Amino acid sequence: MYVCVCHAVTDSDIECAVAGGCCSLRQLSEQLGVGRTCGRCTRCARETIQDSLQPRASQPSRAVRFVAA
C-alpha cells in the first residue's frame, strides 16, 4: 500500500529500508523523502517502521514439535 503518495513510497519500500538499517523517521525521510512534502504520511510511516522493527513473533515457527502420546 502507498504510505507516501507525494514520493510514491510503499510499505514494502519502508520495510526494505528498515531491513537495510533505517530505524527512524528522520533516516527514512533522508533516504526515501517520506514526510518532506505535505507530512500527512508521517504517522503511518512511523507505524510501518515500528512494525518492521518488531521481531516476527506472529509468524509460525518452522521448528517441528514432537508431542509424546
Q: Is residue 24 part of a domain?
A: yes
Provide the number of structural domains found in the chain.
Answer: 1
> What are the tens digits of pLDDT across the range 11-67?
999 999 999 999 999 999 999 999 999 999 999 999 999 999 987 545 555 455 555
Structural domain including 26 reads 2-53
Q: Is residue 37 part of a domain?
A: yes
> What are the tens digits of pLDDT across the range 1-21?
999 999 999 999 999 999 999
Packing angle, helices 25-32 and 11-19, rounded to 10:
110
User: What is the pTM for the complete model shown?
Assistant: 0.76
pLDDT reported for residue 11 = 96
pLDDT reported for residue 57 = 46
Residues 6+ apart with CB under 8 A from 50: none
Q: Annotate 24-68 with DSSP letters as a single string.
A: SHHHHHHHH-TTSSS-TTHHHHHHHHHHHHS--TTSPP-PPP---
CATH of the domain at 20: 1.10.10.1100
Q: Is residue 65 part of a domain?
A: no
